[in-house]
């Protein structure tokens, strides 16, 4: 890696946690310390720490032995946004622009650049800071696999492994009690997690946001198995799935958050509707935050480390305003402006949809 004038770099982790964050922090910090002799400053709790000036020095010892740890040693926040800083005043949530304060903090610490590790929301904020003149490099993170500009995000495969294990376990109890067992997985507005876990876990029905489902098609998929002597069915449903003509199920709203909508509850809606219309006893399991927790799988350890190395390369080359990414089978990078404000969903012609259909999996069509 070529020597540049980079001497002090900040790192923060934003948005929801996921396995592999520490692996990226480790790779970025160690690479820049080893190759550049750079000093690393960690901002605590994502953009919250950037605005409120809460930092820790990151030394070699700080990032040693954290590769296998889940979560993030820096902490994170999925509500802090310097451009829409939310504070409670009386009974109301008031938002203000605190971006000038964030810029002042960066200047105070004499940073040559900032590495932001996060999902589409964090990348959108990073893009706005870049427009304000901040030297930024992004690293895509999310178990939802929905960040534009990259075909893969770290944390996704670890979440798929957890969801698949849950589906495997639900198979045995579904078979024993002759029930329809529904596993609700995360994913927000994209069906990548449900699609991959559903195929890996042998789900009979997979419901994803990209394909609004027909209730009668779901009922028939369960009844058809019963007629063939299979007295149970497994359904993997994404939290953002919805019936034709219906809406996504919203669990609650978090006012002041960059994305205030919190999805959840479609699993229970599916089980109740199936039981009422088919007479088959149905139960729902909402995997929730367990999908985010625990140690990253081996794939994510390697992939997160690779993305961290790529981010360090971008920093060393002074290639700012870019996000490390994976496209066409190789590490590359893309502009933050191409990532901001979007969400990568499952294309309706994606090969995995055909793979699932070929073995009889229903998408409720």
From 17, 45, 144, 333, the catalytic residue: 144
Q: How far apart are CA 289 and CA 272, in angstroms?
A: 23
Specify the pLDDT at position 264.
Answer: 84
Both 140 and 13 in one domain: the answer is yes
Both 36 and 96 in one domain: the answer is yes
* Residue 348 included in any domain: no
Both 54 and 140 in one domain: the answer is yes
* Residue 189 included in any domain: yes
Both 181 and 95 in one domain: the answer is no
For the domain that residue 130 is a member of, what is the CATH number? 3.40.50.450
* Residue 351 included in any domain: no
Specify the pLDDT at position 249.
Answer: 84
Domain's final residue, options 265, 292, 319: 292
Chain CA centroid to CA 348, Å: 21
195-233 core/surface letters (b: 16 or more CB in 10 A; e: else): bbbbbbbebbbbbbbbbbbbeeebbebbbebbeeeeebb
- Looking at the predicted structure, is the pLDDT value of residue 3 above 60? no
Q: How many domains does the chain have?
A: 2
Q: Domain limits at 48?
A: 8-154+296-338
For the domain that residue 184 is a member of, what is the CATH number? 3.40.50.460
Q: Among this protein's residues, is 204 annotated catalytic?
A: no
Query: Tens digits of per-residue pLDDT, 207-263?
Result: 999 999 999 999 999 999 999 989 999 999 999 999 999 998 887 776 666 667 778
Q: How far apart are CA 193 and CA 183, in angstroms?
A: 12
* Residue 237 included in any domain: yes
- Looking at the predicted structure, is the pLDDT value of residue 283 above 80? yes
Specify the pLDDT at position 20.
Answer: 96
* Residue 70 included in any domain: yes
The DSSP code for 22 is: H
* Residue 98 included in any domain: yes
**Structure tokens, 330:** 């190789």
Query: Tens digits of per-residue pLDDT, 157-198?
Result: 999 999 999 999 999 999 999 999 999 999 989 999 999 999
Both 165 and 286 in one domain: the answer is yes
* Mean pLDDT, residues 100-111: 96
Specify the pLDDT at position 248.
Answer: 83
Provide the percentage of residues in the chain whose pLDDT is more than 90.
84
Both 150 and 225 in one domain: the answer is no
Both 186 and 319 in one domain: the answer is no
Both 229 and 138 in one domain: the answer is no
Specify the pLDDT at position 256.
Answer: 63
- Looking at the predicted structure, is the pLDDT value of residue 2 above 90? no
Both 180 and 267 in one domain: the answer is yes
Both 97 and 168 in one domain: the answer is no
Query: Tens digits of per-residue pLDDT, 108-166?
Result: 999 999 999 999 889 999 999 999 999 999 999 999 999 999 999 999 999 999 999 99
The mean of the pLDDT values for the chain is 93
Q: What is the pTM of this model?
A: 0.92
265 Cβ contact partners less than 8 Å away, ≥ 6 residues apart = 249, 250, 251
Both 150 and 13 in one domain: the answer is yes
* Residue 307 included in any domain: yes
Asked if 152 and 306 touch (Cβ cutoff 8 Å), the reply is no
Specify the pLDDT at position 258.
Answer: 63
Both 202 and 320 in one domain: the answer is no
């Amino acid at each position: 890696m070529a020597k540049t004038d980079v001497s002090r770099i900040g790192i923060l982790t934003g948005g929801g946690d996921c396995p592999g964050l520490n692996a990226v922090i480790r790779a970025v910090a160690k690479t820049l310390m080893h190759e550049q002799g750079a000093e690393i400053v960690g901002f605590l709790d994502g953009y919250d720490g950037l605005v409120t000036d809460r930092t820790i020095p990151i030394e070699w010892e700080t990032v040693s032995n954290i590769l296998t740890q889940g979560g993030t040693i820096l902490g994170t926040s999925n509500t802090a946004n310097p451009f829409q800083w939310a504070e409670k005043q009386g009974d109301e949530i008031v938002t203000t622009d605190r971006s000038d304060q964030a810029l002042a903090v960066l200047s105070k610490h004499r940073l040559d650049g900032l590495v932001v590790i996060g999902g589409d929301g964090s990348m959108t904020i990073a893009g706005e800071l870049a427009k304000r003149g901040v030297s930024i490099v992004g690293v895509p993170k999310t178990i939802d696999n929905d960040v534009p500009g990259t075909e893969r995000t770290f944390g996704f495969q670890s979440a798929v492994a957890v969801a698949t294990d849950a589906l495997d376990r639900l198979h045995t109890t579904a078979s024993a009690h002759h029930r329809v067992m529904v596993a609700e997985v995360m994913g927000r507005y994209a069906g990548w997690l449900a699609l991959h876990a559903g195929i890996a876990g042998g789900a009979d029905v997979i419901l994803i946001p990209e394909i609004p489902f027909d209730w009668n098609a779901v009922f028939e998929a369960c009844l058809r198995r019963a007629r063939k002597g299979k007295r149970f069915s497994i359904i993997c449903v994404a939290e953002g799935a919805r019936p034709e003509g219906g809406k996504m199920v919203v669990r609650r709203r978090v006012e002041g958050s960059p994305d205030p909508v919190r999805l959840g509850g479609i699993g229970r809606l599916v089980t109740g509707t199936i039981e009422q219309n088919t007479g088959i006893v149905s139960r729902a399991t909402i995997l929730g935050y367990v999908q985010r927790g625990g140690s990253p799988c081996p794939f994510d350890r390697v992939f997160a480390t690779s993305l961290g190395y790529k981010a360090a390369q971008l920093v060393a080359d002074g290639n700012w305003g870019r996000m490390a990414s994976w496209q066409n089978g190789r590490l590359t990078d893309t502009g933050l402006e191409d990532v901001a404000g979007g969400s990568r969903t499952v294309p309706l012609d994606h090969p995995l949809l055909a793979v699932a259909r070929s073995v009889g999996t229903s998408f409720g069509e």
